[in-house]
Every structure is written in structure tokens, then in C-alpha cells.
Structure 1
């Protein structure tokens, strides 16, 4: 079978799927956010598929009806510049530490162009409330938080621009490390009773009305297989969702304290989080 792959801008995913639901132009959707697909799931645009591996998922890794499935997880972590912070004892242990005097003008993150940034803040709102969360944002900004257009820009600026820490997805750290950069990874809010870190995911879904639904399901089974999950971890630092995969240096999901909030709540807060952060200097860059 000949396969055609079309890449679309990640923030256009929802509109594209909804616009084409009467005449689907694809069989399968792969994208980089649970929230994006959950936001349109109610429109009946996906064909649920209970893949064997997904039947063993924790509930947050899939849609309640299996309309979409995570195929790698995206935990948030702090990437540390070892040239500036060589001693792990000085690394941040909480997201709040980004507002500490030691990291004044040396901490960084992305704009709301990244769904993972929006979801992280939405999760904090759900767990700690708006007053606490918006006060933290103000403290971060007052401490000279550096804001970059994307996770990639945030990652790439860490060493040349002398930043000490960057809030990124764990895979960003692993890719940067594999390129030979002097970086470490700090896991935040992992103490007993701590907030934990938000975990987003790459997701896959069969499009309702697909012309080749069985081929789409076969691809999902292949994507979730131990060998491919191992490959994604080794080559791209992605966190496997199949526990049988070889994780290597990638921290297993079972070892990460996740922020305990439902995806439904995060999705409900998404638009207002993006809107508020955009007024605070986190607005996404203009698109060409």
C-alpha cells in the first residue's frame, strides 16, 4: 500500500479534522497533544480502537472510549546547564524554584505556542487554584524568566545564551544530551505529597470514515510494539507507553510523580490559560 504523509501545523489539527469530517482526507492522525484531540473527540471525528497494549494503560493515557491513544509520553522536566550549575545539589527541585534569587534572569520556558506549556499551567490551576498559579507566574516574570517561541528554541538557547535551566519536555533534554551538550535533567515537585509534573503525550487516532481503517489499526499496533517503543526511546528520548520497551536512559512513567488532575479539567481550562498567559508575555509568535 502506498502511504502519503502530510504534515500540518499542530495548532491547526482540530480545525482541519472538524472541517473534513464529512469527507475525511486521511486514515490516521498523529499529533503532539492529548488536549488537542480531546477537545474535538465529542464531535465524533475518531473511530475508537482498543489496541491490545492500550487496554493496559492508565486511564489518562487514552480517551475514555479509546478514540485516541497516547503512543509516547511527554513529561515536563527541567533541563540544566551543567556549565552554570555543575553540582546537582544546586539544581531546582520545584517549579517554584524558577522564581528563586539563584535563578534570576537564568530560567527559561516557551510561549503558549507549545501545548505542553499551556497544559502544565492548566494543571497547576486545577490543583492549586488560580490565585496561587497566577501569583507564581508573576513571580517568575519578576525574576526575569526568559520566554522563547517554542520548546526547541528554549532548548537551543540554553547553552549559547547562558541560561541555567529550561522548562522543557523530557525528550528535549535527551535529544540535546545526545548531541553532546553539557546538560542534566532535574525532576520537579517529586517529593511525597508534591504537585508532581504534568505529562502530556503524542497521540494517534483512527479517523472516522477512513478509507483504510484496518491498515490504520495495524499501524497503531506496530507503533505501540516493544521494538518501536524502544526505538523511539533510544533515538529521540521519548518516554515509552509500553512497559515492555527498553527505556535506556529515559525515566519510566512508573517512576514519575504525575500531577494528579483529569485531562477533562485540563482541556476545560486550556483556552482561558492560553488567553491569560498571552497577556503576560507568553503569546505565540506570528506565523509566516
Structure 2
């Protein structure tokens, strides 16, 4: 009975976490499309509110945990958050999530290859198929995403991949993430203030936009990451990586339901190739 309850609880927390990760894309796109908030202000509010929630979680959590953030990891987190917001000025929630997830995995897989990790034939096939899917998404056509927005999202994904790699073995994940969020928030606020002072940025916002930014930072980022780190010990590495394949799909469903986005054939085939290829890399590692 206890085992069944543990499995049900873990499955529920995983579902909530994946919905939170997908919700980041939907909330950002909703804010930038339907409110007056600008991307820089959204980024700053998201990071600040995420930092506050993570600090509260760490403050009232059990003692004895170790770990702290650092400025290099915070810089990677800031680049991710800024690129993410700027990209969603022009990208749909679904396209952005697919590009983000694909570039995160490509960065982490590429790091392994660079360090001498040997891939099996099935993994190489999966990697080629996944990259072909991303390239296919970018091919010129009526359904192709804007190049600048796509490039910014790929940059955001690469930065998140670097952030994830730097976080391995750095201490308690929630504690480390809280420290990095505070540092990244300082970077975001400083850049926004500098851009505002130099007239490069004309900051704008409204109540609805601020609410979306706070929800993205406090709920889908801060609480989402905390929940994810709480269930990770119960998952194998391949399980954790595979489960995250659901995020672009959930973001696509959210975009259709809340933003009226339409799935094109180009996006569907690119998604199948990219997510299927990444799945082959993940499971090819397990079988080899």
C-alpha cells in the first residue's frame, strides 16, 4: 500500500512539474502577445519572483544541506532567461518550446561527445534525426519561425544546457538554484536599468503582464524547479531525460488551448523527428 502511494505521489508530482515547465512558455508568450509588458521587464520580474520563492523554500527547508550559486552559473541562467523572453516576442509557444528543448539536449549531448563519450550506432542515428528535425523546422516556408526569434531561443537552450552541466555536483540543487536566481536577477535588473538610462529600452508593463511574469517566476519556475528536484532522486537518468520529452508537446497543447495557435505539418514532422531522435539517443545509451 505504501509503495503504491509513493508511486502515485511521484507520478502526480512529475505531471505537475512538466505542466509547470510547459507553462513557462505559455505564460511568456501570453504576456508578450496580449499585454504591454516588454521582454526585459518580464525577464527581471520572472527572475526576482523566482528568487524570492526559492529563498523561502530554502529558508524553511530542513537544515544540513550545502551548496551555493556562483556568478558564472548565474550568467548562464540570465542568458537563458533573457533569450527565452526575447525569443517569445515572435515565436509561438510550441515552436519556442521545441527549439529550447532541442538545443538544451544538443548542448548536453555535444558536451559528452567533446569529452570523449562514445555513442552507439543507434545514438548517432538519433542525433542525426533530431538535428534534421530542427533544421527542417527552420527551412524557408510559410510555417518557418522568424530567424531572429529562433536564434535567440537556440541561444537560450544552449545557455540552459551549460547551466545544467555546471550544476552537477555543486551541492543541493534547490539551494544552488536559489543562489543563482538571486545573482541572475541582479544581472537582469542592472541591464534593464542601464538600457533604460541610455534610452535603448522604453520599459512598459501593465497589471496583467506583471501577473504573468510573477506567475512564471514564482510558480512555473521557482516551485517547478523545487518540485522537479524533489522527484529526481526517485528517477533514473534515462527516465528523467525521457519524461522531459513531454514538455514541448504540453506547451503545444497549451498554445492551442489558450493562445489559439495552430499546429502546422512542418511543426508536427519536426517535432516527431526532434523528440524521437533525442529519445533514441537517451535509450540507446541505456541499451549500450
TM-score normalized with structure 1 length: 0.26
- Compare relative contact order (CA 8 Å, sep 6+) and give the higher one, 1 or 2: 2
Higher strand share: 1
Higher helix share: 2
